[in-house]
Amino acid sequence: MAKLKIGVLISGRGSNMAALIAAAKAADYPAEVAVVVSNVAGAPGLKIAQDAGIATAVIPHKGFPDRETFDRAVSAELEKRGVGLVALAGFMRIQSPWFPTHWKDRIINIHPSLLPSFPGLRVQQQALDAGARVSGCTVHFVTPDLDAGPIIAQAAVPVLPDDTADTLAARILRQEHRLYPMVVRWFAEGRLSVAGSRVAVAGVPPTATLLFSPEP
């Protein structure tokens, strides 16, 4: 059976992209990274992808008159590669409403907080400033509203008394690298269904939680 082709969008180091590439090396993994697209020519993640033999494309956003024109160029590259799922992995661009509408229910993002708490940027510092005792990461479908799409799964980590934004980010990142490949697997296996703001995962009882707590 043909594997689902993933298009990964990055702007920087691409560590979640690397986690997806690593997961896809398993013979039984039902997806493969078909192309990595970056809006930044010097993004370190591009070399990681190239070293893994994966096609890459650089589409600088500054070369376009507006967000939608840029988004359409990115979409054309993804479609050329036969992509069935778009995975945002540190893609530091706010997309026009056209893009998530065009890729509705076929575009996901991983965010380093337990949404809906702490959307946007500097999320670890937001958590520390709020005195949060628990933080984590969220994989969600992308909609035109920033960091507000239907939540698929989350992983929680403790916020420790001596945490800085950097130490908390590192603890969360370890769980991002576990959670994102798992959700992509579910999507590729056809196990996800969206009804309004809720996502169901086939094979998971309705009473089960999809909040993972891997650290004490």
Q: Kindly report the backbone phi and psi dihedral angles of residue 121, in degrees, each rounded to the nearest multiple of 5, phi listed first.
A: -105, 170
Q: Which of 61, 102, 111, 177 is catalytic?
A: 111
Task: List, in order, residues 6 or more apart from 20 with CB less than 8 Å away.
Answer: 6, 8, 31, 33, 87, 89, 180, 181, 184
The yes-or-no answer on residue 111 being catalytic is yes
Q: Is 184 helix (H, G, I), strand (E, B) or coil?
A: helix
> Which residues have a Cβ under 8 Å from the Cβ of 166 and sit 6 or more positions away?
124
Single-letter code of the amino acid located at 158? P
Residue carrying the six token digits 């004490």 = 216
Indicate which residues carry an active-site annotation: 111
